Amino acid sequence: MKLKVQLACAAITLFMGAPLYLITLAALSSRRSLNEFPLSLLPTSLSGETMSTFLQSTGILGGLLNSLTIGLSTVALSLLIGLPAGYAMARYAFKGRDPYQLALLLTRALPIVVLSVPLARIFLDTGLYDTTYGVTLLHTALALPTTILITSAIFLGVSREQEEAAMIFGASPLAAFARVVVPQALPGIAASAMFTFVLSWNEVLGASILTLNRRTLPAQVLATLADSPLAFRFAGGLALVVPALIFIAVARRYLLNMWGTTLR
């Protein structure tokens, strides 16, 4: 059994990891070696040329800052709005629960382009156009359904008794929520934060419709990459992944946090 588990894990890691290896390899290969056939699977002709050209584009640093700001603000805002709602969905069988859930999903079911264009008009009128705030609002709206649904599924598993016990010992409902419920729901919160950040990080279309001179990093570079030679597309693809990888590495610790307490 143990051996089978190890083998299965290794097989899945190979499937998940091989494309990651290839994108790294291609991004760091010289332009010429990408045109050869057969392609080499080993790093035989490494070159940082395409990567450095790519990193010298105008607005890379500004775009990075904007993207980070928007990503983290989106995580904060969507948790602030989404956690109470997720909790309500888990704890109360209220009237209109299903329609509410459906309405939430509607926003994800419409292509972003259909939503962004009228939104750009509103933002132009209200001065939110071409600001990080505007993009944060759009991304929060896109992330809310995942945040609310995932956290509600997790809150279902948090025991009601402990929360009530805390309140009997004098904790306010808010304190009981923060000290008893949230720590136990941390994996779900981490998972939804992960989705939110990654969603915001990779969302290009809405961000490019809602901004002009203050673009996010992907909006700034993905458009130029689409028509660039293959080597640049790999370099850009890799460079864009790195920050999201760091965020996942951090969030992962919270996601797996509960293994320690459930495994005795």
Partner 1 sequence: MTDIRLNRRALLSLGAGVAAAPLLGACGGVSTSGADGGKGSVTLMSNQFSPVEEKQRFEKILQQRITAEKVAFNQVETGVFASTLQTQVDAGKVQVSAVGALHGDLAQHAERLIDLDDVLAGLGDRGFAKELTDLAKLGGTTTKYIPWMQASYVLAVNKKALQWLPSGADVQKLTYDQLLAWATAGAKANGGKPIFGIPAGVKGLYHRFFQGFLLPSFTGGQITTFRSAEAVTAWEYMVQLWAQTARGSTNYDNLQDPLQRGEVLIGFDHVARLVGAPADKPDDWIMVPAPSGPKGLGYMLVLAGIGIPKGAPETDKAKDVLKALTTPEVQLDVLRQNAFFPVTNAPIPTDLPGAVALAAAAIKAQREAPNAILSLPPVGLGARDGEVGQIFKNCFKEICLDGKPVRQVLDAQATELNKILDELKIPCWQPDPAGANCRAA
Partner 2 sequence: MRQTRPALLLIAPSIIFMAALFLWPLIAGVTQAFHGPDGPTTQYVRRMADDPYFWEALRNTALLIVVLIPLQFALAIVMALLMRERPRFAGLHFYIWVVPLAISDLAAGLVWLSIFTDRGYLNSVLDGLGIPTYSWLSFEHPQTMFLAVVVAELWRATSLVFVIVIAGLQGVPRDYDEAASVFGATYWQRVRHVILPQLRPSLQVALILRTILALEAFAVAQALTGRNFPLLVGETYQWYYQLQNPNVATAIALVVLALSIVAAVGYLRLMRP
Burial profile 139-175: b = 16 or more Cβ within 10 angstroms, e = fewer: bbbbbbbbbbbbbbbbbeebeeeebeebeeeebeeee
Return the number of the residue (101 or 258) whose C-beta is nearest partner 1. Answer: 258
Per CB under 8 A, residues contacting partner 1 are 32, 34-35, 37, 53-54, 56-59, 61-63, 65-66, 68-73, 75-76, 79, 113, 116-117, 120-121, 124-125, 129-133, 136, 179, 182-183, 186, 205, 208-209, 211-215, 220-221, 223-230, 232, 236, 253-254, 257, 260-261
Binders of partner 2 among residues 203 to 232 (CB under 8 A) are: 204, 218, 222, 225-226, 230
Segment near partner 2 (CB under 8 A); pick from 54-62, 65-73, 161-169, 241-249? 241-249
Question: What gap in Å lies between CA 195 and CA 182, rounded to an integer?
Answer: 18
Q: How many residues bind partner 2 (CB under 8 A)?
A: 107
Nearer to partner 1, 62 or 243 (CB): 62
Each residue 55-94 as x (binds partner 2 by CB under 8 A) or -, in order, gives -------------------------xxx-xx-xxx-xxxx
Residues 6 or more apart whose CB falls under 8 angstroms from that of 103 comprise none
Directed axis angle between helix 60-91 and helix 132-155, to 10°?
A: 30
Interface with partner 2 includes 169 (CB under 8 A)? Answer: no
Nearer to partner 1, 3 or 249 (CB): 249
Using an 8 Å Cβ cutoff, are 230 and 147 in contact? Answer: no
- Single-letter amino acid, residue 47: S
Task: Give, in degrees to the nearest 5, the angle at Cα 28 between 197 and 253.
Answer: 30
Task: Tell me the closest approach of the beta carbon of residue 106 to partner 2, in angstroms.
Answer: 7
